[in-house]
Amino acid sequence: MTFQRSAGFTLIELILVVAIFGVMAAGSLLAINPLEQFKKSNDSKRKSDLAQIQRSLEAYYQDYGRYPLSSSYQIVDTNPVPFGSSWQPYINLLPDDPIETRSYVYYVSANRQSYVIYASLERGANDPDSCNDGDVCANMSAYGVSGTACGVVCNYGVSSPDIRP
């Protein structure tokens, strides 16, 4: 009686191929670093949000010759306009930080001719646009704004053209 060998893979060959794919997948995950990619994505959204808010504030300034009031680090038109709500006609939805425990901070000068908006970038010092290598923006204390008003360290800011964040 002769045994005929089938033309398939042996168990050892299959295990070896699965192990090689596992090593390749682990290497790919290390190279991609998904957590860092999520942080980059959130930080890009924050920068875009603050740019949108800036455009809205400049439109308000064009209408009234001054920026809106601030209270509790929120924009105040007739009433407070919380981040994440509508502020018509300037913006359909005033953006809010993508992480629930963080928030944007708006401050306007007493004469309402200057403003700053702060956020907290997750990548901190790894983001070239962050203040002071990821530390608190230098001018916050001069404006009387707490360095942690964003929920954590406020390390990114934009402002009206006449001042620096």
User: What ranges do the domains of the chain cover?
Assistant: 43-159
Q: Is 78 exposed, middle or buried (0-12, 13-18, 19+ CB in 10 A)?
A: exposed
- Residue pLDDT, tens place only, 39-85: 999 999 999 999 999 999 999 999 999 999 999 999 999 899 999 99
| 25 pLDDT higher than 90 | no
CATH 3.30.700, applies to 43-159: yes
DSSP state of 58: H
What per-residue confidence (pLDDT) applies to 106? 97
Q: How far apart are CA 153 and CA 103, in angstroms?
A: 11
Give Cα separations from 11 to 6, 7, 143, 164 (angstroms): 13, 13, 70, 66
| 127 pLDDT higher than 70 | yes
SS3 (DSSP) at 108: strand
Q: Which of 93, 73, 85 is nearest to 147 (CA)?
A: 73
What per-residue confidence (pLDDT) applies to 34? 82
Q: Residues 128-136: what's their mean pLDDT?
A: 90
